[in-house]
Amino acid sequence: MSQGHFCPTFVPVNDAAALVSPGWVASHLQDTDLVLLDASWHLPSQGRDADAEYQRAHIPGALRFDLDAASEPGTDLPHMLPTAERFAGIMEHLGIRSADHVVCYDGSGVNLSAARAWWMFRVFGHARVSVLDGGFPAWSSATRPVQRGTTRRLPTGYQTPRVDTSLVRDRSAVDRIVGGTEVGQIADCRPAPRFNAEVDEPRPGLRRGHIPGSNNLPYADLTDPETGRLRAPAALRALIAARGLDVDQPIVALCGSGTSACALALAVEVIRESGGRPVGPPVAIYDGSWAEWGKTYL
């Protein structure tokens, strides 16, 4: 997907809070316009089966959102955004309406993939989308009800969306930032050992290292390790600044496949909503991420 140069003005798409608590979900569980999505996805090295975990237990009424199936099939890069038409078709099949309030969660406890689903909805202009703070672990730890099996909804119409290209960047845009012809900061959300070229990438055929001039902010650092909840807005802002990034200036985030990097986009949106509103645009995601750069460059 091709993007133009950074434009300093933007229109927020989200009409719902970026982050909602388990208590909020519990109190709204019977709302007819609430759609819960289990968007769990795990790295192959973790040995976890997200589909099986969903079958064993999910929040009552939650639909299964398969990140791999919802990605663009016509590329050898993982987790690339689908076309607007494909996204609309998936939404229609799931029974999601354009006006529904979608709440995404995952089972990682560190927003490994829920934020990616949230970001996808934002890219495609869905006005009401949130992430469940702490995900399924936060829900189940309070002995709230869970459901087994598969939840299905009747297919319904979903208007083909307009793509917000300000939220996604491609390789040429990253090239311009590296070359100094476009304003922007590059945040790499992979774990530090991968950023520092100390270990091999989990995907074969990729070089070690990082994009020149990028700053490392591992996505898991954005959450409290004891609770799995996102850190408070002031703490997030301080953490991001400590890693050499300015939330008031354009940031492009990447990771291995463009999935966990979306946790940084979520964090900056939470800062924005808290009243410490960054004057810059939302974080954009380099969709190809290291899966593309590490194969092509260095």
Catalytic residues: 255
β strands within the chain, DSSP E: 19-20, 34-38, 63-64, 101-105, 129-132, 168-169, 185-188, 215-216, 251-254, 284-286
What pairs with residue 104 in β-bridges? 37, 131
Number of C-beta neighbours around residue 293 at 10 A = 23
What is Dmax (Cα atoms) for the chain? 53
Angle at 126 between CA 172 and CA 169, to 5 degrees: 5
Show the tokens assigned to 9: 């003005």
Phi, psi angles (nearest 5°) of residue 46: -80, -15
Number of C-beta neighbours around residue 44 at 10 A = 8
The rounded distance, in Å, linking the Cα atoms of 69 and 255 is 20
- C-alpha closest to that of 160 among 72, 85, 82: 85
Residue 98 CA neighbour count, 13 Å, CB half: 11
Secondary structure letter of residue 168 according to DSSP: E
CA dihedral 112, 113, 115, 119 (to 10 degrees): 140
The rounded distance, in Å, linking the Cα atoms of 127 and 147 is 28
Cα 59 versus chain centre, distance: 20
